[in-house]
Structure 1
Amino acid sequence: MSEAEASAELASLAGAIAFHDARYHGDDAPVISDADYDALVARNRALESAFPGLVRTDSPSLRVGTPVASGFGKVRHAKPMLSLNNGFTDEDIADFAARIRRFLSLSDEDELALTAEPKIDGLSLSLRYEGGRLVQAATRGDGAEGEDVTANIRVAGAAPLELAGTPPRVLEVRGELYMDRADFLALNEAQDAADSKIFANPRNAAAGSLRQKDPAVTASRRLRFFAYSLGEASAPLAATHMESLAALGAMGFSINPLSRRCTDVASLLDTYAGIGAARADLGYDIDGVVYKVDRHDYQERLGQVARAPRWALAHKFPAEQAETTLNDIDIQVGRTGALTPVARLAPVTVGGVVVSNATLHNEDEIRRKDIRIGDRVVIQRAGDVIPQVVRVITEQRPADST
């Protein structure tokens, strides 16, 4: 590829990614899947690596999120709210750990502890407490400046308004606001009955519920918050990330119980596989696992590059497949009288859309795949294709499946 061709493609990518950032972060209405978006970002990064002299001033690699929307006040973050670099393969994770060891000049015998925790598919928030009381809540925005959503967070019931114990005089707590699947489905039923907007997935529902001009609307929605890191703090909370999470839990925050401390790449990957296997049963959406260097002094030494910290990485799940339970099989009658079996599923998010039904095509397909009620199944959805059952997880088949 010539420099001219690379320059033209980088310009196109910058425009496309900016458009999708605005739809996702600003409008809460994405028009492509996470996997397709990640592919655009990866292509942009590859071209910038091959042609470093062509990095644009509006490059997506230098930007976090999107500017603050009109209608909300602006909040300048005391410490930037960074994005995360992504990994997709086991080799990516091994390379991540190796880079950290090289940067810190650690030998193979030196312990390098990292944490692994579910990557919640929600809306990033920063909550500021002074004297133990909530004084400000802000969205991530563009990483430097976010939206002031204090009034809505005060009535959401998702995070403590006053902290237990003796917290630092100033403490900023970062985390993810989300809506679980049961509350999402109930909200959409109510919206449908009222002839109001139907949300595509729980992430959009959470973001839309928070960004209400009337806090009473936010108060009527079931929102939740997992704390996962710190922003500005007037005094250290702990020496490690895991100890910080424990301290935040003692103050009254919800901490994800699946968070683990790992001391080698194999245990990171085992945790990733375990969280992935439990994904459909969690009750809330996740799109990967986040790895972080546990020691805060190591985090300080590692610092950041462009818009992301060197000490953290998001290990993303494939976006178009998910595991769930097949609760029942119904027969659907088409306009021509054709009979089509339909799988009724425990709701799960696949490719950015909550799926509770999937086509089984015909009786021969059911027989060929040996699909039974009660089975754990892998479903797939790509683009606008009707969700389908890819395979049965026979090793998890219950004894009473029929």
Structure 2
Amino acid sequence: MDKAAAAKRINELRKQIEEHNYYYYVLDRPRITDAEYDRLMRELTELEQQYPDLVTPDSPTQRVGGAPAQGFQSVRHLAPMLSLSNAFSAADLLDFDKRVRNGLAGARVEYVVELKIDGLAVSLLYENGRFVRGATRGDGEVGEDITQNLKTIKSIPLRLRQDLELLEVRGEAYMPKKEFARVNEAREEAGEPLFANPRNAAAGSLRQLDPAVTAERSLDIFLYALGAVQGQAPVKTHLEGLHLLKDLGFRINPNIVLLPNINEVIDYCQNWTEKRHDLPYEIDGMVIKVNSLAQQAALGFTSKSPRWAIAYKFPAEQAVTKVKRIYVRVGRTGVLTPTAELEPVRVAGSTISSATLHNEDIIREKDIRIGDTVIIHKAGDVIPEIIEVVKEKRTGQEQEFFMPAECPVCHGPVRKPAGEVAVRCVNKDCPGRGREGLIHFVSRDAMDIEGLGPAVIDQLLTAGLVKDAADLYYLNAEDLIKLERMGKKSVENLLNAIERSKQKDLASLIFALGIRHVGARAGKILAAHFGSMDRLKEARQEELTAIPEIGPKMAESIVAYFRDPAHLRLIERLRGAGVKMTQDIPERGERPLEGKTFVLTGALEKYSRKEAQELIEKLGGKVSSSVSKKTDYVLAGADPGSKLEKARQLGITVISEDDFERMIK
């Protein structure tokens, strides 16, 4: 391909990728598979490598790139980013409404209510349709330039769907709860300090001097306001502004409502107090804004905040309980983690009976002792955490805790590497490490072997039937029937589950291996890029770091994993047992569900929820957790819940398992 043809193809690829990003991140309606998307990105990357002078800053390949920065430059926002005043009760919201109506001489007022995403406020600047700068809020007037880090967030368009002369927009960058748990788990295993909550995690990720580190963390963003605009007819309401943002290619939150009075606002806010725990990201309240921009202008600002908006803050969810004992768990990388066993107590929608204490430094800092009365909450609505000790309730019978001088499982030596906060068992053959590795290998996001929970794994280890993951594939009925509470049917089901797992995709296998720093998302990226385990294990560090979202630390860990002869023997034994080592890339004609969104409800007979979801995704569809106007089909099994009723109210097509099977055939 000559340069002119390459330039034409590069332009085509960029437009295709931008369009697919819009459908995936903004409309929540992907039109191609991840594998096809990755093929487009690979083709674009190869052409740009061949003709580097054709690379432009808004190319999708430039989301991660460049040397680490020496520091962040200060930048001034075109329009100030003011903070909001807070409301903590229904009475506070009534007072806010009274001030608004007094300020508007009793005129009719409509309110837009949005979720208050708990992340980092940022400003994005576009010139002639291209993303040129991103900054933190800072003091509201001046922030820090974090453009390269914001480029790593794939839901931020590098080019608008309309070429506006100038546009400044505001949004909240955040870390999803699942990613927060994964990042903290990785940091704990690496002996690094933990993030206190998703907000701190997002802020810390966006202030990394090396964008490759930011790219390793799956941040996302919701846009919530226009700042400065040139080249666009003015909008008249805040809601119109949000619709404009979506049309331009930005992701806005779906849970935004227009309400006619403050009483409905109060009901809506209070309903979200409990519902917030079901969200995949953290919110700490609601934001209420006067919808009319003319009314906003009439109300104006105080010296600190707008008079036309307020933040309703949720009450803190905490509970008081007692520390019954502190025990030490051994992780799959050898990290010794002290854990508090608590008197059971209900917090944020679930019963909590234990809380990780992370490391000895945190125990000393908070002065946590066995027998203490403590206050707990859920960090990021996910991880149970002891906030503080109620020292006034101490009786003098409490006992200090000290980390063991040897591994509590294998009784081998432990050490605390320089610069780390974690204590590690250095015995690679430690049974405790092996047990956790097996639990990880069979987990839902890995090989998903149903029926192989921790209790069964403990029995297998005690009986000497397994030592590593490969041994699972050489088990037989005669071995298993001897185990406690394992009847003929249980044995048959377990062996069938193990057999099915052999056909899991390559991404699941890569994640299941437990390579340090490699999560489920990285597993998918590596599987799509290399296509086979053989290609991955031969990869060099520079080849790995050239892949978007694969940073130096992860690349170094991957190379080190495949240098270990024990790991190579494990992979060959898995291969010998029939575990699939290549990536399936379905052809276009093999994806009859492309672009369709499904919701699953009730108990299915022929599939587990996980199996149904994987099949739908493999055939080009998508599975959502809630019914909305975007839903195409609700697959209903026995005893369906409220999702079925909502589907009928919205006129969504409801199908049975038989309908589903006819559809995919």
TM-score range relative to shorter protein: 0.5 to 0.7
Pair 1:216 & 2:230 matched: no
Residue in structure 2 matching 1:297, options 294, 299, 302: 294
Secondary structure at the counterpart of residue 202 of structure 2: helix
Partners in 2 of 1:236 and 1:140 — Cα distance? Answer: 26
1:116/1:259 contact within 8 Å kept: yes
Partners in 2 of 1:315 and 1:280 — Cα distance? Answer: 17
Give 1:197 shift. 2.7
2:236/2:292 contact within 8 Å kept: yes
TM-score (norm 2): 0.39
1:293/1:299 contact within 8 Å kept: yes
Pair 1:204 & 2:184 matched: no
Deviations 1:335-377 (A, max 9, x none): 7xxx96665999x69xxxxx994469xxxxxxxxxxxxxxxx9
Give 1:188 shift. 1.0
1:281 corresponding residue in structure 2: 278
Residue in structure 2 matching 1:262, options 259, 263, 271: 259
1:90 corresponding residue in structure 2: 90
Partners in 2 of 1:167 and 1:227 — Cα distance? Answer: 18
Deviations 1:46-82 (A, max 9, x none): xxxxxxxxxxxxxxxxxxxxxxxx9310011111110
Report the CA distance shift for 1:340/1:215 in structure 2 as closer, same or farther (over 3 A): closer
Partners in 2 of 1:307 and 1:344 — Cα distance? Answer: 40
Secondary structure at the counterpart of residue 269 of structure 1: helix
Mapping 1:3-402, distance limit 5 Å: 71-106=71-106, 110-164=107-161, 166=162, 168-234=164-230, 235-321=232-318, 357-358=352-353, 383-385=387-389
Report the CA distance shift for 1:340/1:214 in structure 2 as closer, same or farther (over 3 A): closer
Percent identical among aligned pairs is 44
Matched to 2:80, the amino acid is: P
2:153/2:221 contact within 8 Å kept: no
Q: Which runs of 5+ in 2 are unaligned?
A: 1-69, 328-339, 356-380, 391-638, 641-665
Partners in 2 of 1:359 and 1:77 — Cα distance? Answer: 45
1:321/1:381 contact within 8 Å kept: no
Partners in 1 of 2:75 and 2:166 — Cα distance? Answer: 16
Give 1:194 shift. 1.9
Secondary structure at the counterpart of residue 236 of structure 2: coil
Partners in 2 of 1:359 and 1:185 — Cα distance? Answer: 16
Matched to 2:250, the amino acid is: F
Matched to 1:272, the amino acid is: C
Deviations 1:158-179 (A, max 9, x none): 4111112x25321111010000
Partners in 2 of 1:315 and 1:96 — Cα distance? Answer: 11
Partners in 1 of 2:206 and 2:160 — Cα distance? Answer: 22
Give 1:224 shift. 0.6
Point out which structure has higher relative CO (alpha carbons under 8 A, 6+ apart): 1
Give 1:111 shift. 2.3
Q: Which has the larger radius of gyration?
A: 2
2:116/2:311 contact within 8 Å kept: yes
Report the CA distance shift for 1:264/1:196 in structure 2 as closer, same or farther (over 3 A): same
Partners in 1 of 2:80 and 2:115 — Cα distance? Answer: 22
Report the CA distance shift for 1:299/1:254 in structure 2 as closer, same or farther (over 3 A): same
Partners in 2 of 1:243 and 1:167 — Cα distance? Answer: 19
Matched to 1:384, the amino acid is: E
Report the CA distance shift for 1:130/1:185 in structure 2 as closer, same or farther (over 3 A): same
Give 1:276 shift. 1.6
TM-score (norm 1): 0.64
Matched to 2:388, the amino acid is: D
Secondary structure at the counterpart of residue 232 of structure 1: strand
Matched to 1:178, the amino acid is: Y
Partners in 1 of 2:147 and 2:351 — Cα distance? Answer: 34
Give 1:250 shift. 2.0
Matched to 1:121, the amino acid is: D
Secondary structure at the counterpart of residue 246 of structure 1: helix
1:136/1:148 contact within 8 Å kept: yes
1:121/1:286 contact within 8 Å kept: yes
Deviations 1:287-341 (A, max 9, x none): 111100001111111111011001100011112349xxxxxxxxx8657xxx966
1:10 corresponding residue in structure 2: none
Matched to 1:274, the amino acid is: N
1:160/1:252 contact within 8 Å kept: yes
Matched to 1:253, the amino acid is: F
Partners in 2 of 1:195 and 1:218 — Cα distance? Answer: 19
Structure 1: 4+ residue segments shifted above 6 A: 379-382
Secondary structure at the counterpart of residue 239 of structure 1: coil
Matched to 2:84, the amino acid is: L
1:179/1:284 contact within 8 Å kept: yes
Deviations 1:254-299 (A, max 9, x none): 2111111111111101110122221111111111111000011111
1:320/1:382 contact within 8 Å kept: no
Task: Give the structure with the larger helix fraction.
Answer: 2
Partners in 2 of 1:175 and 1:299 — Cα distance? Answer: 19
1:118/1:286 contact within 8 Å kept: yes
Partners in 2 of 1:198 and 1:83 — Cα distance? Answer: 28
Deviations 1:69-124 (A, max 9, x none): x9310011111110000111211111111111111112xxx420011111111100
Matched to 1:290, the amino acid is: V
Partners in 2 of 1:299 and 1:157 — Cα distance? Answer: 32
Deviations 1:184-205 (A, max 9, x none): 0111111122222311111111
How many residue pairs were aligned? 281
Deviations 1:117-155 (A, max 9, x none): 111111000001111111110000011100000111112
Partners in 2 of 1:141 and 1:341 — Cα distance? Answer: 40
Partners in 2 of 1:93 and 1:230 — Cα distance? Answer: 24
